Amino acid sequence: MKGILIKTLVFLAVLSSGFGCSPSSERMDSIVIAQAQFESVALPCIAEDQQFFSRNGLKVTSRKYDSGVGALDGMVNGEADIAVGTAEFPLVGRSFRKERIRTIGSIAKSELIYLVGRRDRGIEKVSDLKGKRVGTMLRTIAHFYLGRFMELHAMNMQDITLVDLGTPAEWVDAIVNGDIDAVAVAQPYANSVKDRLGANAAFWSAQSSQPLYTQAISTDEWITKHPDLAVRFLESLAQAEEYVMLNPAEAKAIIQKRLNLDAAYMETVWSQNQYSLSLDQSLIVAMEDEARWMISNGLTTEKQVPDFLNYIYEDGLRAIKPETVTIVR
C-alpha cells in the first residue's frame, strides 16, 4: 500500500511539474545539495547555471565537498538532502551497515581514476609497484580500483605498503614531496601530480575500462517525504543532459569556470565522461563486484553481498526517462 501511495505521488508530481515549465506563481521548494568538486557533477552544475532548477520550482543551495565520500557523509549527517558526485563504491560500503539511503540515479559514467608513480623510485612498469608505498583515500572508489588494478597485474594489496590520504592536498603533496612512491587518485588531482612530476611520472589508468558511476543519493526518509522534489530534481538534470548534447562547447565552458579548471585539462577529460541520467543493470553488477571485493579484502565483517535493489529508487527516473531504467527486479 505504501509503495502504491509513493508511486501515485510521483505521478501527480510529474503532472504538476509541467515537465520543466516555469512554476510562475507557484512557491519555490528548497533543496540542499552536497556536491563533490569533480567534472562528473556537470549535470547539476549546468542545471543551476541555466536555471533549470528554478524553472522546475526548486531553490537549490550547494555545499562543496572535496570528495564523493565527504559529500555522502555530509548528506547522511543532515547537512544536505541529496549528495551528488559520489561514486557507487561508498554506497556499497554503507549498504553493509544497512543504512537507509538510496541512489535516485546515475548522473555520469566516467573514467577518472589514475595511478601515478615516481620513476626515480624505480617505478617504470606496473610490477615495479611491489614493495612500494602507495597512497590513496581508503574506502573510496580509488581504493577499489587500486586493488583491482593490482589483481589484474598478478599482484595484491599485500604486495605494497598502503598509505591512507585524507584530503586532495595530501593526495598531491604526498607523492610530489616523496613521502610515498605512487598514488591512486581521481582527476583533476591525477593530472596535477603528473604535471608537477613532469618526466618523473609513470602514469596509468586504474579503471581497466570499468566505468565509475557517479550517483545522486538521498535518504529513504527524504525520498519518501519528497517524491515530488526528487522528480523535479531529476527533470532539471534531464534538461541539463539535453543542454550538454546540444551545446557541448558551452557546457564544457560552464564546468571549466565553475570548477576552476584549465582549458587543456578540459580537452583531455571531457570525452572521458558520459553525462546522462540512468539506472542501468550494469550498475547493480558493478556494485555486486565491489561488494565481493570488500568482503575478500576485510573491509566489512559481513559475508553476504547485499541486495542492491533495496538501495535503488527507480520511481523518480521512471517518471522522467523510463527508457533509461534497465534494472531487472
Domain 2-110+212-324 and domain 113-205, same fold? Reply is yes
d(CA 82, CA 28): 17
Residue 312, strand partner residues = 103
- Can you give the pLDDT at residue 21? 41
What is the pLDDT tens value at each position of the chain, 329 positions in all?
444 444 444 444 444 444 434 444 467 999 999 999 889 999 999 999 999 999 999 999 999 998 899 999 999 999 999 999 999 999 999 999 999 999 999 999 999 899 999 999 999 999 999 999 999 998 889 999 999 999 999 999 999 999 999 887 888 999 999 999 999 998 889 999 999 999 999 999 999 888 999 999 999 999 999 999 999 999 999 999 999 999 999 999 999 999 998 888 888 888 889 999 999 999 999 999 999 999 999 999 999 999 999 999 999 999 999 999 999 88
Q: What is the DSSP string of 13-42?
A: HHHHHGGG---TTSPPEEEEEEEE-SGGGH
- Can you give the pLDDT at residue 233? 98
- Can you give the pLDDT at residue 24? 42
- Can you give the pLDDT at residue 293? 95
DSSP annotation of 211: P
- Can you give the pLDDT at residue 139? 85
Q: Residue 112 is which amino acid? A: L
Q: Residue 176 is which amino acid? A: V
> Given the DSSP bridges, would you call strands 113-118 and 101-110 parallel, antiparallel or unpaired?
unpaired
Q: Please report, for the chain, the start and end positions of each structural domain, with discontinuous segments joined by +.
A: 2-110+212-324, 113-205
Say if residues 102 and 223 touch (Cβ distance below 8 Å): yes
Q: Residue 312 is which amino acid? A: I
- Can you give the pLDDT at residue 26? 65
Q: What share of the chain is helix, strand, coil (3-state, %, to 5)?
A: 50, 20, 25
The class that CATH gives domain 113-205 is alpha beta
Say if residues 275 and 43 touch (Cβ distance below 8 Å): yes
State whether CATH 3.40.50.10680 applies to domain 2-110+212-324: no
Q: What angle do CA 137, 142, 148 make, to 5 degrees?
A: 125
What residues contact residue 51 under an 8 Å CB cut-off, 6+ apart?
none
Q: Please report where in the chains the cell 540515479 appears, as a residue.
A: 105
- Can you give the pLDDT at residue 167? 82
Grid cell in block for residue 34: 552536497
pTM: 0.86
Q: Residue 31 is which amino acid? A: I
d(CA 51, CA 37): 20
- Can you give the pLDDT at residue 227? 98
